[in-house]
Structure 1
Amino acid sequence: GTKAVEGLTLMLPKTNTKCFNTTTFKMMKKLRLIQLANVELDGDFKNLSSDLRWLCWHGCPLKCIPTDFYQGKLVSIELEKSNIKLLWKETKMMEKLKILNLSHSNYLIQTPDFSNLPNLEKLTLIDCPRLYEISHTIGHLNKILQINLKDCINLHSLPRSIYKLKSLKTLILSGCLKIDKLEEDLEQMESLTTLVANKTAITRVPFSIVRSKSIGYISLCNYEGFSRDVFPSLIWSWTSPTNSFSFQAQSFLGMSTLVSLDVTNQSSHLPSSISKDLPKLQSLWIECGSKLQLSQNTTSILDALYATNSKELESTMTTSNTLNTDASKLTECDGQVHISGPKSSSRSLLVQIGMSCQVTNMLKESIFQNMTTSECGDYLLPGDNYPDWLTFNNEGSSVIFEIPQVNGHNLKAMTCIVHYSTLDNIISDDFKNLLVINRTKNNIQIYTKEGLTSFEAEEWQRVVSNIEPGNKVEVVVVFENKLNVEKTTIYLVYEPIDEKMELCDKNVIVSSVDENVYSFKQISQVESIDDINQKQKRRKIE
């Protein structure tokens, strides 16, 4: 009977507390689970089973756990609404412990030494009103997943070591009325997905938070929601007359995520200090309030980018060791972009915005297949291939066009081919930025080469969805100064609305036709160039 018991539950109402002697448990050698509520235990705790795995004791009257209680195999300790003041007088190694819950313990004043709890995954200390200190040893919890300190109203700060927790996914500080600061070290918490810190004394959000690649949900300083929705408003809140753009930009330098700034309510264009920090941003989306503001901001941005690129150019001029793709004067012939006359200083560049799919790979294969020398030494680029892609081109570094409506198809990506010439003694990457200016919606998207290659699928969806039929759009390619952009060609790539998602593959391209500079990823399910040519012949016959 008693020797076979593995689990025991005794839940009494608070008004009917009972006291039992620990000898009651002496014969329960196989006892692994204990659940008690409003029960007092008297006697030696060594009488409890040494095989105990789960201790749940609500309303525990003890001020600390007795030293003669063996806890070496405990996986979970839940002592809610207890009288615990200090959990252990002497902490012993507890390698099995994964859950520690001391919530609503009114007398708890400090946490235990966490260095002896190497496998703790969940720490819950909700509503411990006298808790004033978290041990610095919390930094030893290398497997911790969740820390909940909600409503610990006397807790005034967090130890710096807490920011070293690379495994932590959820941190809850809401209701900690005296906590007034989160350190910039927050970005070190590389697994943190949820941060809840509302109803605290925190008035300033750490700038490093927007660099986090993991945070998905945030509640802090009256900002609440998914990070993709909160971060743009958060960043804009830093843009004020008292905060220079230079100061704000430090918070999101190097971010791969698309950062948004809303200047629709500003009477003037971007502050002059943008010239220092704008070129350092990997991606930026600026919402303007009018066409005049759009024009002013576009001018400021281009001036800033060209000024910075000119300085970089002066420091990198040397003998070139880069192979060039021959190109020269561009004309339009038979619906194709025609590039004739070899020239050693001319190059071609392909940049793709959006998600790759079967059609984008068909287009890229067609481009590279046709960029071979014909008998007259010319190059041919594909023209319109309705409804798969449409072509727009212009001399120089920008193209302005109106997005057409293609029935039964959605815009999937934009592919940009740029032909330019450069000095022979320049070995830099040349391509610096790409701007997509929506003149209908009055917004500007700015990308660096690094930004284009680091976007996730969700971010690309947001970028492409901003471009709708009827929108007047301008694409501008920014190179280092002293480069001559001869012609820019834009391909709008479409896919059938009912096309299956499995045909699409995330593959952001920033590539030079010169194999020594950049290269394409190889994509499966690519239609061969022969199939493309056959399709074009059939359309001509029809």
Structure 2
Amino acid sequence: MDMENNNWRDLAPLHSGLTNVRSVLVQCDTAFQLSKQLKIILVENNLNYIESGISKHHLRFSLIGVGYYSEFLNTLSNSVSQGLAGSESCDVSLPNDNYPYWLAHMGEGHSASFTMPQNCDTKGMILCVVYLSNPGIDATECLTSVLIVNYTKCTFQIHKRDTVFSFNEEDWHGIISNLGSRDKVEIFVTFGHKLVVKNTVVYLICGESNDMEMEPAKG
């Protein structure tokens, strides 16, 4: 899509109106143009995040997987649950790197930034979102899209809600084909209903075994 004469306000109805479109990949000409488009998207999504002062009892989490991840989902889910249960404050303990199985990249709020690893056959990823639990609000129901920004290539790729809940092998190939070694990347998970997010963590899957031990990290 030519972003010189179009902006996100033109892209949004296109993306939501075509039911068979699973994702949209936009190539910007410059870093400034990319920054401008991201600002429009993020302002329109009205993202909120927790800074401090929330008890562990008010926090929940949601996991989103794409590509090869199924062998690790239960292990991560159990570890995150234990981390939330073991936290005495809003500073929760979340699983850290578990080389050679995965690399963890932790962020505050709705996004996590990282550099794509070298010499690593990345087979999939799991997104972990820790959010404020309010009555009647569930992350899976509020999720609107996953936005993958490649600052090195000046691109952003938007996956709408329906695609996120049915990520397939083709979706993963479309994601990883645009992420090269040492590329600077940021992944945003956007929600409606003013869902308040504490942390977003990206786990890049590199291994194939569920026989593993993990050490939690402060997130």
Query: Corresponding residue for 2:108?
Result: 395
Structure 1 residue matching 2:57: 3-state secondary structure: coil
Partners of 2:71 and 2:25 lie apart in 1 by 30
Q: CA deviation at 1:362?
A: 4.0
User: Percent identity at matched positions?
Assistant: 28
Q: Does 1:463 align with 2:172?
A: no
Q: Does 1:411 align with 2:122?
A: yes
Partners of 2:8 and 2:81 lie apart in 1 by 47
Amino acid at match of 1:410: D
Is contact 2:145–2:164 with CA below 8 Å preserved after alignment? no
Give the direction of change, closer, same or farther, for the CA distance of 1:299–1:280 in structure 2 (3 Å limit): farther
Please give the TM-score of this superposition, normalised by the length of structure 1: 0.34
Q: Which runs of 5+ in 2 are unaligned?
A: none
Is contact 1:367–1:381 with CA below 8 Å preserved after alignment? no
Q: CA deviation at 1:288?
A: 1.2
Query: Corresponding residue for 1:349?
Result: 62
Q: CA deviation at 1:425?
A: 4.0
Structure 2 residue matching 1:451: 3-state secondary structure: helix
Query: Corresponding residue for 1:270?
Result: 7
Which structure ranks higher in relative contact order (CA pairs < 8 Å, sequence separation ≥ 6)?
2
Show the 5 A alignment for 1:524-539: 527=210, 531-533=211-213
Amino acid at match of 1:389: W
Partners of 1:369 and 1:457 lie apart in 2 by 25
Structure 2 residue matching 1:301: 3-state secondary structure: helix
Partners of 2:81 and 2:134 lie apart in 1 by 23
Q: CA deviation at 1:450?
A: 1.0
Please give the TM-score of this superposition, normalised by the length of structure 2: 0.77
Q: Deviations over 1:138-166 (max 9, x none)?
A: xxxxxxxxxxxxxxxxxxxxxxxxxxxxx
Instruction: Tell me the C-alpha RMSD between the 2 structures.
Output: 3.1
Give the direction of change, closer, same or farther, for the CA distance of 1:373–1:455 in structure 2 (3 Å limit): closer
Amino acid at match of 2:32: L
Q: Does 1:300 align with 2:40?
A: yes
Q: CA deviation at 1:280?
A: 4.5
Of Structure 1 and Structure 2, the greater strand share is in 2
Q: Does 1:478 align with 2:190?
A: yes
Q: CA deviation at 1:494?
A: 1.5
Give the direction of change, closer, same or farther, for the CA distance of 1:465–1:478 in structure 2 (3 Å limit): same
Partners of 1:280 and 1:478 lie apart in 2 by 18
Q: Does 1:285 align with 2:2?
A: no
Q: Which runs of 5+ in 1 are unaligned?
A: 1-260, 310-327, 331-338, 496-502, 504-525, 538-542
Q: Name which of 43, 46, 70 aligns with 1:361.
A: 70
Is contact 2:63–2:77 with CA below 8 Å preserved after alignment? no
Structure 2 residue matching 1:410: 3-state secondary structure: coil
Query: Corresponding residue for 2:96?
Result: 383
Give the direction of change, closer, same or farther, for the CA distance of 1:278–1:267 in structure 2 (3 Å limit): same
Q: Deviations over 1:265-293 (max 9, x none)?
A: x5344164444444445421111111111
Partners of 2:171 and 2:136 lie apart in 1 by 37
Amino acid at match of 2:151: R
Structure 1 residue matching 2:7: 3-state secondary structure: coil
Q: Does 1:446 align with 2:126?
A: no
Query: Corresponding residue for 1:518?
Result: none
Partners of 1:420 and 1:387 lie apart in 2 by 28
Q: Deviations over 1:175-207 (max 9, x none)?
A: xxxxxxxxxxxxxxxxxxxxxxxxxxxxxxxxx
Show the 5 A alignment for 1:118-267: 261=1, 263=2, 266-267=3-4
Q: How many residues align?
A: 203
Partners of 2:212 and 2:13 lie apart in 1 by 47
